[in-house]
Structure 1
């Protein structure tokens, strides 16, 4: 095994330890991952932009500081990361997977971007995504689909499929995604990685190009629970530039993850949501879920069946609220100030330029959601559609409140199926929307949720995820449960699930 291969196999925590002890340099680690991207990304297409020179320069700064006797800027200083192309970056393009922003370079950094830089995290580049974060498969990117490293004929989930695929392909040890209805957790489930949606307001949205402002939330993606926790503490925290940011201490998620790795869940009550799972779910997903419940019980957790009756309406309500906010947010792309501009005629009016630009610049799924949202907000339909959907949202939040009055966390499958073939559902929006069936309720209520690998489906050998949901700002108990479950699965499987990725095994 080559040195480069050894490096890309290490966890972020292991890499950080080696870099900070100067056993290996941050430049060596960064170069190993850049070499890996060159080797496999033509088959995976996880990245839209690779920032090789800036990444190596940032890594060199970390090495110079350590050589000068300075302490690491953070526990992850020098560790490479893949950043979803929805966060503003002043030194590289931010396209949101859309032609309407092709080549656009923001004049500022998002708060998440800035915090990563201050922490000494090395940004390798920007990852592919469904256009403006609208999709569940990363097939709606204007720059072509991303492929699942487990089987490159299949989807990597969405909208953050590029970030998840970069982890599963060992192109990066860490990544950042955003989660509006499952866009971190669902890709994590189908790629055998870890994905976390923090409490709404727990991670700043300043500089995150908005899809649906009341639902969007940035969060960490990793190959282990501890790595996700380390990244979580880097990016989380109050930001006065975000009016929805929560001014409260960041939950002690790293401490919780380390404690949970001991495998003791005695005294914790785990709620099994009766509305999520069972009939309609892929049998292998259901089997993995039931096995996961047995594992949690073996660790000492008490399983309690919990009913959240309004979860069954979450999908319908979400696809009224989200398009409504999309139709408002995307109105800013008017061809007047930045981005694409199409001139249908030399003397075209502003309205004609806007229409021609949006026709050329937006993809079909984005147009579909803009039209749905505009209709739902239109005169005579607002109360019947958008208003009712918001009432359902309140009922879903009440279901969570009642459930968390009985248990510490809730669990469910993360996605109803394993990764499906590219192209299978792209022309069937309703079938595509069902991929977020389990993940949407947490976004509607704003509480914390995450996905951890729970095994491989026997039928296709593809990963399955377990979703763990916690109350708002309850990330610590969520990470504790996730780390305990991960440790138990690793012990039973003889190692991490991700080390058995098969689609690219000849090149790993």
Structure 2
């Protein structure tokens, strides 16, 4: 059997039983990445030496009979906006193309403690701004199901690496849907946890009140394994929560009998592809057959979510990206006659068009005379969106909706229409606004391209979200399906 079609659990058992060594697995993975990279273009850098070193450490522990984590010795990918000590972290931007962090993000330290093997840093939309991984300054990642299609974004490199079987799991970041949307378009599992569930320390900031590190895997059980290893309070991240981290695999019993599912009518209205709508409704029906109760609900302020997001996120980006000025680190323009000219040239040459567009929008929204009209008003609407979810969760346990309004589109199709690209996140943005956990799982195909179903839960109730996702996954034949490349 192809090792790269196996689950994390199966591979971990093979390693523990000494049927394969971590070094052998890592070398086979590196060979697979090299064979597929020219087609898929998932990675910005390959960390071969570090991967081999980490694999050898795991093999030594196994030889000594030491207890190892379920993730030990298993190759994974890291989105290139998550800091890795001694490894380039570029955010897929010219302005950071030679930046090597002097420290690890907390999630990386935790994965290293678990014995994880980093294969490389994955491609992304520049500074996580985009929905197709086409705004990267370095390359355009392809969708493994159809190399003429986008993989989604901004974490498209991580999604494509997992979907194509190059790595067993990967980390991404989700500010407005950037884990769930590419997971849906590439036919894998993508989880955005509750805001504060996973430390953001070492995640290069885009929108600080919205950013959350997320997880890509090929099935729900694997997602639960990874979440358990990286979740929890971090003393150096003031926004991380002290909420206890359970063993999420214990929730995966297949039993959804009596569970209440809310179906928000606003997510099935105009703009959602009919085949996508049918696949998600069929998924809900399948859960009903498994014993869940289904109820139509309303999230009335959903229609304002995209407009609200594109005030709040660019405003926070405008502030966060002000640090990239050519003075302390990163790209610096070569010819300038004054400090102002240094700033202008560095930022004009270093940032791509989409990043500059959002900086300008955010700076305008925060400027004197417009702050109350735009940014403050957007924060008030955000509160209403959050309250919609709180009210809905008084009656239901989870909410189910489409992840994306359509299946993967052609590379280049929406580049000249930013508003059309922004609408790709219409179904995912509200969960970021409310800070609640949400997962995307595959629920069907249209023209050979995956369709995603989104399951949204209460704050810190990732267990129930995973439970529902796992029950559905086991009732259909889709998990661990790898496109033929």
With the shorter chain as reference, the TM-score category is over 0.9
Who is 1:151 aligned against?
146
Query: What secondary structure does 2:143 align onto?
Result: coil
CA distance in 1 between partners of 2:321 and 2:227 (Å): 28
Task: Deviation per CA, 1:344-399: give whole Å up to 9, x if none.
Answer: 23xx2222111111111100000000000000011111111111110110000100
How do 1:275-294 residues align onto structure 2 when only pairs under 5 Å count?
A: 275-294=266-285
Query: What secondary structure does 2:49 align onto?
Result: helix
Q: What RMSD over aligned residues (CA atoms) do the two structures have, in Å?
A: 1.0
Residue 444 (1) aligns with residue 398 (2): no
Aligned with 2:470 (options 483, 490, 503): 483
CA distance in 2 between partners of 1:38 and 1:377 (Å): 45
The 8 Å contact of residues 142 and 151 in structure 2, kept in 1 or not, is answered as: yes
Who is 2:199 aligned against?
204
CA distance in 1 between partners of 2:269 and 2:246 (Å): 33
Deviation of 1:133 (Å) = 0.4
How do 1:43-58 residues align onto structure 2 when only pairs under 5 Å count?
A: 43-58=39-54
The 8 Å contact of residues 219 and 479 in structure 2, kept in 1 or not, is answered as: no
The 8 Å contact of residues 310 and 399 in structure 1, kept in 2 or not, is answered as: yes
CA distance in 2 between partners of 1:480 and 1:274 (Å): 23
Aligned with 1:383 (options 367, 372, 376): 372
CA distance in 2 between partners of 1:30 and 1:350 (Å): 48
Aligned with 1:429 (options 411, 418, 435): 418
CA distance in 2 between partners of 1:475 and 1:123 (Å): 25
Who is 1:175 aligned against?
170
The 8 Å contact of residues 110 and 208 in structure 1, kept in 2 or not, is answered as: yes
The 8 Å contact of residues 251 and 473 in structure 1, kept in 2 or not, is answered as: no
Residue 231 (1) aligns with residue 210 (2): no
Residue 296 (1) aligns with residue 287 (2): yes
Residue 501 (1) aligns with residue 483 (2): yes
The 8 Å contact of residues 84 and 162 in structure 1, kept in 2 or not, is answered as: yes
Who is 2:385 aligned against?
396
Deviation of 1:253 (Å) = 1.5
CA distance in 1 between partners of 2:17 and 2:233 (Å): 31
Residue 242 (1) aligns with residue 237 (2): yes
Deviation of 1:343 (Å) = 2.5
TM-score of the two chains, using structure 1 as the length reference: 0.94
CA distance in 1 between partners of 2:261 and 2:235 (Å): 35
Q: Which runs of 4+ in 1 moved over 4 A?
A: none
CA distance in 2 between partners of 1:428 and 1:102 (Å): 27
CA distance in 2 between partners of 1:501 and 1:246 (Å): 38
Residue 412 (1) aligns with residue 408 (2): no
In structure 1, stretches of 5+ residues that fail to align are 491-495
Cα pair distance change 1:233/1:477, threshold 3 Å: same
TM-score of the two chains, using structure 2 as the length reference: 0.99
In structure 2, stretches of 5+ residues that fail to align are none
CA distance in 2 between partners of 1:9 and 1:267 (Å): 34
Aligned with 2:36 (options 40, 60, 75): 40
Residue 191 (1) aligns with residue 173 (2): no
Who is 2:100 aligned against?
105
Deviation of 1:154 (Å) = 0.4
CA distance in 2 between partners of 1:103 and 1:8 (Å): 32
Query: What secondary structure does 1:335 align onto?
Result: coil
Who is 1:352 aligned against?
341
Deviation of 1:287 (Å) = 1.5
CA distance in 2 between partners of 1:8 and 1:434 (Å): 34
Aligned with 2:332 (options 341, 361, 370): 341
Query: What secondary structure does 2:121 align onto?
Result: strand
Cα pair distance change 1:497/1:119, threshold 3 Å: closer
The 8 Å contact of residues 131 and 178 in structure 2, kept in 1 or not, is answered as: yes
Task: Deviation per CA, 1:168-218: give whole Å up to 9, x if none.
Answer: 111001100100000000000000000000000100000100000000000
Aligned with 1:214 (options 185, 203, 209): 209
Aligned with 1:265 (options 230, 247, 256): 256
Aligned with 1:323 (options 300, 311, 314): 314
Task: Deviation per CA, 1:458-478: give whole Å up to 9, x if none.
Answer: xx2100010000011010100
Query: What secondary structure does 1:107 align onto?
Result: coil
The 8 Å contact of residues 251 and 475 in structure 1, kept in 2 or not, is answered as: no
Who is 1:130 aligned against?
125
Who is 2:363 aligned against?
374
Deviation of 1:238 (Å) = 0.3
CA distance in 1 between partners of 2:480 and 2:422 (Å): 27
Deviation of 1:62 (Å) = 0.1
Deviation of 1:71 (Å) = 0.9
Deviation of 1:249 (Å) = 0.8
CA distance in 2 between partners of 1:498 and 1:231 (Å): 16
Deviation of 1:497 (Å) = 4.8
Deviation of 1:500 (Å) = 5.1
The 8 Å contact of residues 94 and 104 in structure 1, kept in 2 or not, is answered as: yes
Residue 11 (1) aligns with residue 2 (2): no
Residue 472 (1) aligns with residue 474 (2): no
